[in-house]
Amino acid sequence: MSTNTYIPGAPADEADAPRVVLITGAASGIGHAAARLYTERGHRVVAVDVDKAGLDQIAEEGDAAATLVGDTADDAANEAAVALALDRFGRLDAVVLNAGIGGAGPLEAEGSLARLDRVLAVNVHGVASGIRAAIPALRATGGGAIVATSSVSGLRGDPGTWAYNASKAAIINLVRGLAVDYAAENIRINAIAPGGTVTAMTAAQVSHPVLGPELTARIPVQRWADPHEQAEAIWFLTSPAASYITGVVLPVDGGLSANGGILLEELVAADAVDETRAYSGGTGDRDDFRQHALWLWESVQDVKATITDLIAEGDRVVVYWRIEGIHQGTIFGVPGTGKAFTGNSISTITIQDGKVVRYTVLPDRLGIIKQIGGTPA
Ligand SMILES: NC(=O)c1ccc[n+]([C@@H]2O[C@H](COP(=O)([O-])OP(=O)(O)OC[C@H]3O[C@@H](n4cnc5c(N)ncnc54)[C@H](O)[C@@H]3O)[C@@H](O)[C@H]2O)c1
C-alpha cells in the first residue's frame, strides 16, 4: 500500500504513513525537525546535507536514519541519496526537498549574478534534480509524496532578496507542473511556504534589535514559527491524510501571507488595553529600564522562564530570555529614541522622552505570560 492510500478515520500516523523518507537540508532547522519527527514516529530517514558535523549528530541518534554528505545542486548526490534509501531500507515512500540557501544583496552589487546562479542551482535545480532522482523509486513503491520547501518569499518580494524570491517562486510552479505530470502515477508533489521560522538561516534577523521585532509585528500570530511547526505541515502533506492533495503550495506562516502589510503592533496594543500597565515607578532612564526589565523577567521566572543573559550595550538594554519548550526571544529598549522593542512580541514597552511610560502584555497564545504579577520595583 502506498503512502497515498486513505484509510477513513485512521490517524495519519497510524495509517499507512510514509515508511522511508529522504530529507535534504536535514542537518539543521526545518529539515532536522522533520528528520526527528519522522524517526520519532517510527519511520526511516535518509538525511542529506552539506554539513557533515550536523549529519553526524543525526547518525548518533540511532539507526533509523542513514546520512549522506552531498550538495543537492549536484545530480549525482541526489541519485546517491535515492540509492542509499533503497540499499539501506529497501524502498522510498516520500521525499522532502528542503535544502536551500538565502541570497540577499543589491542587483548591482559585485558578483550578484553569480550569487543568483548559485541560489537557483541549490533552490531550484536542486529540487528538480531531487524529484528526477526519486521518481523511479517512488514509482516502484506504487506511488509516493514529495514536498519541496518554498517560502512566503516565493509568494511575494522582500527588499534586497530578489534572487531568493525568484528561486522560491520557481519552486511553486515547478511543483505545480510536475504534480500534473505525475499525478496519474500516484505521486503527489506539493510545497510548503514557511514564514519566519527560527533556524540558523534566520538567527541574525530574529535577534536583530530593530529588524527582529519589526518582522514579528508583521506576523498576525505575533511570533515566529518553531521548525517543528513546519515539520508537522510536511508530515501532513506526505501522509495519507493528504491523499487527494497535489500541486498546492501550503503557507505555514502564522498568517503572514494573508496580511496586507500593515504593522500589527498598534492594533494588538489597542486590543491589549486591559493588559497595559503604566510604568511610573522610576525615572525611565537606562539603569531604571534595566531594573524594570529585571523585574519583568524575575516575574516571568514564576512561569519557568529563565533569563539566559542580560546585558547593557551602550545605550541599549537587552534581555535574552527563554521559556523552556515554548518560546524564546529578546526584549530591549533604547531610552531616548522614543521606542523600545521586544522580540516575539511578548510585550511592548513605550519610552517617551527617555522614560518608560507603559508596558503592554500582548494577548497572544502565551496566556501564561499574563500570569505575571507584582509591580515594578
Ligand atoms: N527559516 C525560515 O524562516 C524559512 C522561511 C521560508 C523558507 N525557508 C526555507 O526552509 C528551508 C530550510 O531552511 P532552514 O530555515 O531550516 O535553514 P537552516 O540553515 O537551518 O537549514 C538549511 C540546511 O540546508 C543545508 N544546505 C544548504 N545548501 C545545501 C546544499 N546545496 N546541499 C545540501 N544541503 C544544503 C544547510 O547545510 C542546512 O543544514 C530552506 O529551503 C529555506 O529557504 C526557511
Q: Is the pLDDT of residue 203 over 90?
A: no
Phi, psi (5° rounding) for residue 369? Answer: -65, -30
Q: Determine the atom of ligand 1 nearest the C-alpha atom of 25.
A: 24
The residue whose CA has the least distance to atom 34 of ligand 1 is 49
- Nearest-CA neighbor of 253 among 285, 216, 301? 216
Q: Is the pLDDT of residue 137 over 60?
A: yes
Gap from CA of 347 to ligand 1 centroid (Å): 30
Q: What is the pLDDT of residues 50-108, one digit of tens each?
A: 999 999 988 888 889 999 999 999 999 999 999 999 999 999 999 999 999 998 788 88
**209 versus 375: which is more confidently predicted?**
209
Is this structure's pTM higher than 0.85? Answer: no
CA-based diameter of the chain, in Å?
72
What are the CA-CA distances from residue 134 to residues 25, 92, 232, 245, 283 (Å)?
A: 16, 8, 22, 19, 64
296 Cα distance to chain centroid = 28
Gap from CA of 264 to ligand 1 centroid (Å): 28
Average pLDDT (283-291) is 47
Q: What is the pLDDT of residues 223-259, one digit of tens each?
A: 889 999 999 999 999 999 999 999 999 999 999 999 8
3-state SS class at 290:
helix
Site to probe by mutation for ligand 1, drawn from 22, 24, 28, 174 as the one with most ligand atoms within 8 Å of Cβ, is 28
Gap from CA of 71 to ligand 1 centroid (Å): 12
Q: In whole angstroms, what is the distance from residue 274 CA to residue 270 CA?
A: 9
3-state SS class at 356:
strand
Strand segments (E) across the chain: 20-24, 44-49, 65-69, 94-97, 144-149, 187-194, 249-252, 276-278, 305-313, 316-323, 327-334, 339-342, 347-352, 355-361
Gap from CA of 123 to ligand 1 centroid (Å): 9
For residue 193, give the CATH number of its domain. 3.40.50.720
Domain assignment of residue 33, yes or no: yes
231 with 318, same domain? no
302 with 156, same domain? no
Write the DSSP symbol of residue 224.
P
pLDDT more than 90, % of the chain: 49
196 with 320, same domain? no
278 with 228, same domain? no
**165 versus 325: which is more confidently predicted?**
165
Q: Which of 233, 258, 283 is the last residue of a domain?
A: 258
Which residues line ligand 1 at a C-beta cut-off of 6 Å? 24-25, 27-31, 48-51, 54, 71-73, 98-101, 122, 126, 149, 151, 194, 196-197, 199-202
Q: In the structure, what pLDDT confidence band is assigned to residue 325 with cuts at 50, 70 and 90?
A: very low
Q: In whole angstroms, what is the distance from residue 308 CA to residue 232 CA?
A: 28
Q: Which amino acid is at 356?
A: V
- Catalytic position from the list 38, 164, 320, 359: 164
Residue 223 and residue 206 in contact, taking contact as beta carbons nearer than 8 Å: no
63 with 195, same domain? yes
Whole-number pLDDT of residue 335: 37
Lowest pLDDT segment from 13-27, 238-252, 340-354: 340-354
Q: In the structure, what pLDDT confidence band is assigned to residue 199 with cuts at 50, 70 and 90?
A: confident
Active site residue 359: no
Site to probe by mutation for ligand 1, drawn from 199, 223, 228, 230 as the one with most ligand atoms within 8 Å of Cβ, is 199
pLDDT more than 70, % of the chain: 63
Domain assignment of residue 314, yes or no: yes
Site to probe by mutation for ligand 1, drawn from 95, 147, 171, 201 as the one with most ligand atoms within 8 Å of Cβ, is 201
Q: Determine the atom of ligand 1 nearest the C-alpha atom of 227.
A: 16
| Domain limits for position 328 | 265-371
Mean pLDDT of the chain: 75
Domain assignment of residue 360, yes or no: yes
Lowest pLDDT segment from 173-187, 256-270, 288-302: 288-302
Q: How many domains does the chain have?
A: 2
Gap from CA of 127 to ligand 1 centroid (Å): 12
Whole-number pLDDT of residue 26: 97
What are the helix and strand counts (H, E) for the chain? 11, 14
Q: In whole angstroms, what is the distance from residue 25 CA to residue 68 CA?
A: 11
Gap from CA of 99 to ligand 1 centroid (Å): 5
Q: Which of 221, 236, 258 is the last residue of a domain?
A: 258
Domain assignment of residue 11, yes or no: no
Which are the contacts of 250, defined by CB distance < 8 A and separation ≥ 6? Answer: 190, 191, 192, 193, 233, 237
Q: Determine the atom of ligand 1 nearest the C-alpha atom of 30.
A: 16
- Nearest-CA neighbor of 253 among 214, 210, 220? 220
Phi, psi (5° rounding) for residue 25? Answer: 65, 35
Q: Which of 237, 258, 279 is the last residue of a domain?
A: 258
Whole-number pLDDT of residue 141: 93
Cell of 290: 534595566
Q: What is the pLDDT of residues 169-192, one digit of tens each?
A: 999 999 999 999 999 999 999 999
Q: In whole angstroms, what is the distance from residue 32 CA to residue 40 CA?
A: 12
Whole-number pLDDT of residue 206: 75
Q: Any idea what the Cα angle at residue 223 is, between residues 219 and 377, rounded to 5°?
A: 125
